[in-house]
Structure formats: C-alpha cells, structure tokens
Amino acid sequence: MNRYIKEFNKGNSILVISSFPKKKEKYSKGVCAVASFTKNTLLALKKQNPDKKIIVLTMKLGNKEEVYKEDGMLIVRCFKRNSPLSYLSLTRNILKFNHVKDVLLEFEFSSFGDIFSTGSLSVVIWLLSILRKSVTIVIHQVILDLREISGHIGISKKSLKLKLLNFALKNFYKFIAFPAKNIIVLEDELKNRLQEIIPEEKIVVIPHGVDKQITSNFSKEKSKQILRIKKDEFVILYFGYLTWYKGVDFLIKSFQKHSKINGKRVKLVIAGGPSFTQGKKEHYQAFLRKTKSLSKGFSHIEITGFVPEEKIADYFKASDLVIFPYRKLMSSSGPLSLALSFNKPVLLSKNLQKLIKSTDIKDALAKTGLLEKDLIFKFNEKALIEKISSAQKISQQKKLILFSKLLSEKRSFDNLASIYIKTILQNYARIYNRKLLVSPRVTR
C-alpha cells in the first residue's frame, strides 16, 4: 500500500467508497448491482480525464484484503460487507489519503449489509465531513414508505416494525444528506421523492448510464444457436435478479398459457438468479421456490440462473423484446440500461410509467413517433399479451429499436462523465439549479 500512497494521495484525486466487481470484470457474481455501475462510471471518468487519480475503497472478497491497480485506478479491498466493525479498517484507509478532498460514495440499501451495517455507514459519512472532505453521494434507491415493498422485504404492512422502520428511513436520508455537498439520483421521480425531506438545491439527477462497450461479434442467429433457442422463436427476455418488486413471478404466470402470440412461437427467457442482497432470507427463499415452481412443465419458459459476464451479450442479442414487469419503482433499472446498450425494444409495466417523464425520453419518443402508451402495459396478463402482440409488428419493432438507440446515445456513460466530474468537484447542484431555474435534470 505504501508505494501507492505517494502516487494517489493528491489534492485533485477522487476517493470512491462503493461495491466493486472482481478483477478484470464488470458484471460479477457475488457482488451487488451497484458494483458494475460504479466501475462503468469510473472508467468513463478516466477516459475523459486520464490524469485524474481515483482510489476505490471497497469490500473484501471473502476475508482477503487486496491492494492493486486496475485501469489506472487504485483498488483497495479493505472492509467487509455486513460488518460495522470493519468500518474501522475503512476509516484507517480514508485517513491514509489525507490530501484527497473529493469523495464519491455509491449507496444502495443492502449493498453494505443489514440494517445495522447500513445505519453505521452514516457515521463514516459524518466522519468524512469532519475531516473536511467534500462528499457526493449517489443514492440508488429512494423509497419513503416501506409498505409499498412489503412483499419484497417480507414484513407485514400493518406491523409496528414497519412503522418504526419508516420513521428511521426518512431520518436516515436526512442524516446522510446533511453533511453531503451533493446528492445524485438517477431518475426524476427519485428526486421528487427525496426533495420532500432534504433541500432540493442539493439534488442533481443524472440518468443511469448505458454501457456502450459491452458487445459481441456474434449475430442474433449465432447467439440463439449458442443458447439453444430455436430460430423461429420470438424471444422475450427478462434480465436481472429474481425479486418480488421486479414482478418476475407475475411475468412467468402470465406466459403459462401463451406459447404462441399472433401465431408466432414465443420463448420467455428469465435470465437471472437469486438476489445477492436478499440472500438466505426466509421470505425470499419462499418467493424463489414459488417463482421456480411457476415455470415447471412449460417448455417455452426458461429460468437460466445467474448470467456470467461473457454470456450477457448473447442473451440480449438473441432477444426480440425485453420486458420490465416491475411492481414498484424503487430505483433506476440496470437491466433497462443494458437493454438500451443493445438497442433492444422494451416494454415497461404501468408501475414504471414515471420513468418516461424525463426530458430525454420524451425527446426520443417524439423523434420516433412513439407515444408513452406504446411502451407501457397495465399490470395484468391480458394487457401484457396485447402489448407484446402490438410490439411484434415490424413497423412497431423498428420504432422501438430506434427509440432505444437514441436514448442509449444520450445516456452513454461517456456522455455523462463530464457531468459527474462537475458534480463531484464543485457544488454543481446549486449552480445547475440557478442556471436553469427549474428542477435539476441532466440530459445530453
């Protein structure tokens, strides 16, 4: 470590605290989804600012401490997930980089562990402020009423525990936001929620970046062959962890009676496995058992399990349509950004309708001649199948593909990198608000 301190302990360096993928990977098994987001963001920052020094303080893999350079960044694996005591090690490493003033913290519930571990992280944030660090926090999830996701967390809507957690949750947001210079959220709707409890002038919206580097040289036909999908099957893809709030059980159940739509054979591919953060929780294991049982006996429905990084491109290339049957809008969608990476047609449940109110999405809709209703389906089987039937039409397919292509260009990580730099290095949220005299929104 000592040999790296002189190189990276600079006044203009950036210290990042986040989950992070395994060596030479971006989409790793055994880490939360924030890891890939963080690495994609930092790679884009380095691309635009090659001389900028970046230090990433992240979780150990197993119990192994590691210090290594990757892509010009210093990666320090120094603390354990779900272990508040290991924040002492995190603090020691923060102190080693005493000349670094700018800190970026990527926060998602359960990313750092259980309730106690997450709550304890607030002490680290306040310590950074006491050390006169300039802290920018990316808050990936904003939910102010846990009753909306009771099925996800396995707690009854009427329980006293949930009421207490709701009270603690709002105060936690306030507590971590107070010492922060800026708060970044990834959707306008998340900003609208958060500004109910923290000052609006602190918040800036930067959309979830799109990874334009992830690709494959294989054709659609070759990808289908690799995945053992028949050539004439219309492939409908769900990608990501199997969770209640993402509605994967609803999607499988909706397809039990539909092996054909419009006379075309369909294949529903559920490309994902158990949630890393939900893990071994009893209510989640029950949900997994129920979800997997729904697909049994239906040859046109396949649950793949976790998709390794080298296979991601194959699943998207083989697909004709990507579905997002979410029950709740809790955060921005990483799988949606991946669908945009491959310019795939997408359909979203009505529960995600607020996502398409942003300026860049409205612009893309206008340029393609699509309406909001062309992307949105009501959360019931009949409406879903009807919307898929419409999306199968060649003319509609072309419009949906163009929509994804336009949005992916605007939201590429490379295009957003300069906004991140401005936000991290100065009090950008206030400047941006005064300049536009409107709610802060970044579009490119």
Q: What residue spans of 296-333 are helical by DSSP H?
A: 309-318
pLDDT at 427: 55
Q: What is the pLDDT of residue 441?
A: 46
Report the distance separating Cα 300 and Cα 10, nearest Å.
Answer: 56
Residue 196, Cβ neighbours under 10 Å: how many? 11
d(CA 57, CA 16): 6
253 with 290: CB under 8 angstroms?
Answer: no
CA–CA separation, 38 vs 136, rounded Å? 13
The answer to whether 262 and 388 have CB atoms below 8 angstroms apart is no
**Beta strands at 260-261 and 264-271: parallel, antiparallel or unpaired:** antiparallel
Q: Which residues of the chain have a pLDDT value below 70? A: 427-444
Q: Which residues contact 131 (CB under 8 A, 6 or more apart)?
A: 94, 95, 98
Helix-, strand-, coil-residue percentages of the chain, each rounded to 5: 45, 20, 35
The three-state secondary structure class of 169 is helix
Q: What pLDDT sits at residue 130? A: 96
Q: What is the pLDDT of residue 428?
A: 44
Q: What is the pLDDT of residue 217?
A: 83
What is the reported pTM? 0.91
Rounded CA-CA distance 356/368 in Å is: 14
Residue 368: helix, strand or coil by DSSP? helix
| Angle formed at CA 328 by CA 106 and CA 172, multiple of 5 degrees | 40
Q: Give the pair of three-digit tokens for residue 275.
A: 């949630």
- For residues 366 and 357, is the Cβ–Cβ distance under 8 A? no
Helix/strand number for the chain, H first, E second: 17, 15
pLDDT of residue 279: 73
Calpha distance 126→119 (Å, rounded): 12
Note whether 47 and 62 are within 8 A (CB).
no
